[in-house]
């Protein structure tokens, strides 16, 4: 799909297809925005090279399925490559698309490896009048960059809410599913952290040394960079919180295991001496003097009870059972 938006000061804003590119070439006062989605690569390459003079190295990077974000200045345009969220990304378990922008003095060409929600939003703002129709191409491109960054925010805020819920679940209903979710969320946040670090680095460099096409739009550049810094800070915070929850979960699990082992140890200590006593007097020797007494059975039961009572009193005083343990 080739969608073209043309602004002519004498006519206003026009929408159409590739036929508007010829009109833009004839009118030196017009600005154009060309959106390329799901077009054959040969068609895109011919359009970019022949109509807008895009360098072949920039096109090579734009056509790659995987390439880190970058901002590179060429003779007649600035190439901006970002990783945007695809249309189906509604959680931190996200998929990305390659969003390429070629920013010239009078043109903006965007090319995406899939449907770009950010491009659609900015285009809708331009058509509806929320953005001025005569907005310069560099400012429009930076508006698109800001929209790409903004789409990460709701996903990160959803992580914050889920972290609060998982903290409560960890204390009340711990389980293997919760630990699995924490491990997966940590991996997802690490991936988002890497994506945002790439973006923050390139815009920090662009702010310090702006390309020619973006030099007159320093405020917009700083705005994008600040938003990326905020998102990066939030992602780092949630990554650390997720890691802390994992450590807390494992510590609680170890504590519960220790409590179980302590209970089993207490039961074992109680039954070992009385089992020994029962074993001694259960041996089938012919001569055992104690067996000749009439009250031997009751004496042995009483001795067992005394041993058990002594052990329980000892454990209670040490705080291993009873009220002291609960404290």
Co-location of 157 and 272 in the same domain: no
Co-location of 90 and 37 in the same domain: yes
Q: How many CA atoms are closer than 13 Å to the CA of 176, on its beta-carbon side?
A: 0
Co-location of 218 and 276 in the same domain: no
Co-location of 161 and 278 in the same domain: no
Co-location of 155 and 140 in the same domain: yes
CATH number at residue 299: 1.20.58.340
Co-location of 213 and 263 in the same domain: no
Please name the residues in contact with 136: beta carbons below 8 A apart, sequence gap of 6 or more.
31, 216, 217
Co-location of 242 and 283 in the same domain: no
Co-location of 304 and 237 in the same domain: no
* The pLDDT of residue 178 is above 80: yes
Distance CA 207, CA 229 (A): 13
Co-location of 265 and 180 in the same domain: no
Q: What is the pLDDT of residue 289?
A: 79
Co-location of 313 and 217 in the same domain: no
- Going by pLDDT thresholds of 50, 70 and 90, the confidence category of residue 323 is low
Instruction: Among 251, 285, 301, give the residue marking a domain's end.
Output: 251
Q: What does the pLDDT look like over 251-286, one tens digit per residue?
A: 888 878 888 888 888 888 888 988 888 888 788 777
* The pLDDT of residue 109 is above 80: yes
Per DSSP (E only), the strands in 188-316 are none
Could you tell me which of 248, 91, 97 has the C-alpha nearest to residue 166?
A: 248
Q: What is the pLDDT of residue 263?
A: 83
For the chain, the domain total comes to: 2
CATH number at residue 161: 3.30.460.20
Co-location of 223 and 320 in the same domain: no
Instruction: Among 216, 251, 286, give the residue marking a domain's end.
Output: 251
Element (H, E) at 34: strand 31-37
Q: What's the chain's length in residues?
A: 327
Instruction: Among 184, 216, 251, give the residue marking a domain's end.
Output: 251
Q: Which domain holds residue 297?
A: 258-326
Identify the burial level of 320 via C-beta atoms within 10 angstroms of its C-beta, where 0-12 means exposed, 13-18 middle and 19 or more buried. Answer: middle
> What is the rounded average pLDDT for all residues in the chain?
88
* The pLDDT of residue 326 is above 60: no
Q: What does the pLDDT look like over 5-62, one tens digit per residue?
A: 999 888 888 899 889 999 998 898 899 999 998 888 899 999 999 999 999 999 999 9
Co-location of 132 and 195 in the same domain: yes
Share of the chain above pLDDT 90, in %: 45
Could you tell me which of 26, 17, 20, 22 has the C-alpha nearest to residue 6?
A: 20
């Amino acid at each position: 799909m080739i969608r073209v938006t043309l602004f002519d000061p004498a006519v206003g804003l026009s929408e159409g297809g590739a036929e508007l590119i010829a009109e833009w070439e004839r009118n030196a006062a017009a600005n154009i925005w060309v959106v390329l989605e799901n077009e054959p690569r040969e068609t895109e390459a011919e359009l970019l090279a022949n109509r807008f003079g895009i360098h072949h190295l920039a096109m090579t990077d734009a056509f790659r399925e995987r390439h880190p974000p970058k901002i590179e200045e060429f003779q007649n345009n600035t190439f901006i490559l970002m990783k945007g969220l695809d249309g189906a990304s509604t959680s931190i378990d996200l998929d990305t698309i390659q969003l390429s922008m070629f920013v010239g003095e009078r043109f903006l060409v965007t090319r995406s490896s899939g449907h770009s929600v950010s491009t659609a939003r900015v285009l809708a703002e331009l058509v509806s009048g929320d953005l001025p129709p005569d907005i310069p191409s560099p400012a429009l491109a930076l508006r698109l960059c800001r929209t790409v960054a903004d789409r990460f925010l709701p996903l990160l805020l959803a992580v914050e809410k889920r972290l609060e819920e998982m903290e409560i679940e960890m204390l009340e209903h711990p389980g293997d599913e919760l630990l699995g979710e924490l491990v997966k969320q940590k991996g997802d946040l690490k991936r988002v952290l890497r994506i945002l670090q790439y973006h923050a680095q390139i815009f920090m460099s662009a702010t310090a040394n702006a390309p020619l096409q973006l030099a007159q739009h320093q405020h917009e550049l700083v705005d994008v960079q600040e938003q990326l810094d905020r998102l990066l800070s939030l992602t780092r915070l949630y990554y650390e919180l997720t890691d802390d929850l994992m450590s807390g979960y494992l510590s609680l699990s170890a504590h519960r295991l220790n409590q179980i082992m302590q209970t089993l140890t207490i039961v074992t200590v109680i039954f070992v001496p009385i089992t020994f006593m029962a074993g001694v007097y259960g041996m089938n020797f012919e001569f055992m003097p104690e067996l000749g007494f009439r009250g031997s059975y009751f004496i042995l039961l009483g001795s067992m009870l005394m041993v058990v009572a002594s052990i329980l009193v000892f454990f209670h005083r040490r705080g291993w059972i009873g009220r002291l343990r609960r404290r």
